[in-house]
Structure 1
Amino acid sequence: MKKYVVAVTGASGIIYARRLLEVLTPLAEVHIIISDMAKKIADYEEVDLSGFDGIYVAEKDMFADIASGSFRYDAMVIIPCSMKTLAAINSGFSDNLITRAADVCLKEGRKCILMPREMPLSGIHLRNMAELDGAGATIMVISPGFYLKPKTIDDLIDMVVARVLDHLGVKHSISERWSGN
């Protein structure tokens, strides 16, 4: 069974994390880290991140399995990824389990997907993203497309989550694929 780490940080767009967890937890072992700020944002945005069949791990639990490079997992997704978290990962500042797990993921050569939702982006944000891309991270700015002619907000969310699943190699049918017609 595939193993993934999904971390949720304090940026708007918690609904994307919820949808990813809805789809991914029935298919794989998922270690879930929700930052304290993400919990506050989830409350504000009225998004429930509880009840998934995953392994919930505290943000401050630096003794968790996923803090070690010897613990094998396939990939990590930080959705949404705050600019604070992105900057910490880029500088190697592992002050919590999210940044430590991302650091481990990158040093072990595993897929690490960072999904910022911020806009506009400053030069600092762009430099951090470019440097992380160079270090092996995949940067997927949360930016739904309109070429599939979405009818609902859920369609837009599914389009973004479908791209994440594609990058994880997870088969799905939650969103249409571009056919050129």
Structure 2
Amino acid sequence: MASEHTTTPEAEITKGDITKLAFRSSMLQAGFNYERMQSVGFTTAMQPLLKKIYRDDPEGLKAANKDSLEFINTHPNLVGFLMGLLISLEQKKEDRALIKGLKVALFGPIAGIGDAIFWFTLLPIVAGVCASFAIQGNVLGPLIFFGVYLAVFWSVPIRKDTNLRWIIATKECS
């Protein structure tokens, strides 16, 4: 069900907008607090796109900002999926209840999947291999672990087509 807001042709999302979203999503946890968890970082990452979508609708922008400032706690590496999905719904001016409901319904499962992949699988395996290097006195052990950790959790794209956040957000917004 579409809301009373109208879509303007100028609100088209470009690859540059998605790249900006990917970079800004890297700072998801920078505004972390114990009341609303990642909501400040989530809203900050989505802000340029929301401003573009609601350029001629200040009330729509206020509603979108209010909704994205509500509680969210998800996995930082998979948040691009959720952001891309929500931005595509915002772009279509879908009902606020649908957007809020989808955000609330998906952030928990996305966190569970991301934690299982990254915290409970990838990093423990890499830590085990690197610890065995370090025990043998090889200085590469800690350096390799640190490099993998940065590659996974900072993931600022050098080539945006290989960045997980960029790929997920692009697929959802296009």
- Whether the TM-score (by the shorter chain) exceeds 0.5 is no
From the two aligned structures, give the one with the greater helix fraction.
Answer: 2
Q: Which has the higher contact order (CA 8 A, sep 6+)?
A: 2
From the two aligned structures, give the one with the greater strand fraction.
Answer: 1
Q: Given the two structures, how large is their TM-score scaled by the length of structure 2?
A: 0.28
Q: Given the two structures, how large is their TM-score scaled by the length of structure 1?
A: 0.27
